[in-house]
Amino acid sequence: MRIPTHIIPGIAALLRYPDERTQALAASLADAAMATGHPCQEHLEAFALVARGLDLRELQELYTRAFDLTPECTLDIGWHLFGETYQRGQFMAMMRHHLQAHGLEEGGNLPDHLPNLLDLGMRLERQDAMDLVDDCLLPALEKVIPALKESPYHHVLQALFLIFTVDRKPAEAACAD
């Protein structure tokens, strides 16, 4: 099965604060995943179904409740890896450097924000991207996904996790669904 890396930029967009394009993007990503037959499709379809039933304000409230009110659910990857320590500051400085070196802007978020790192990963050489996933993204996702169990955004992160892990050995891909 081909890993649908072409879906990752759309997932990065879904993990940014919702705007008037979010619902259409969710539906488009679900369709794209369905075309690949990848297991991530189930989760992207589930999120698209929820998004379709909400207006923009409700979707924005859902996003805020999911990611901004509980530290365990933050999309700031360095927090999950290092907490509020000096090492996180170093990590953010390094991510800011890499984002700038690859012509990416942070937007209104910190440089270690998951969508920023997904955008960065798409521009890195294959091994560097795999190292970013293995060393940073997967350990953080393994913490955030269970904490988001009650949110529809759980499906977006679970889809991302499956994209990163579905072709690995079962022991390497163990994450509570």
Whether the pLDDT of residue 148 is over 50: the answer is: yes
Q: How far apart are CA 105 and CA 38, in angstroms?
A: 30
Alpha-carbon 78 to chain mean position: 14
**Distance, CA of 120 to CA of 163 (rounded, Å):** 16
**Given this structure, which CATH class describes domain 5-173?**
mainly alpha
How many angstroms separate the CA atoms of 46 and 96, rounded? 33
In this structure, what token pair is assigned to residue 89?
A: 């500051």
Q: Give pLDDT tens digits for 32-41.
A: 999 988 999 9
d(CA 95, CA 71): 20
Number of other residues whose CB lies within 10 A of the CB of residue 46: 18
Q: What is the per-residue pLDDT across 104-137, written as a single tens digit (0 to 9) for each?
A: 999 889 999 999 999 999 999 999 999 999 999 9
Domain ranges of the chain: 5-173
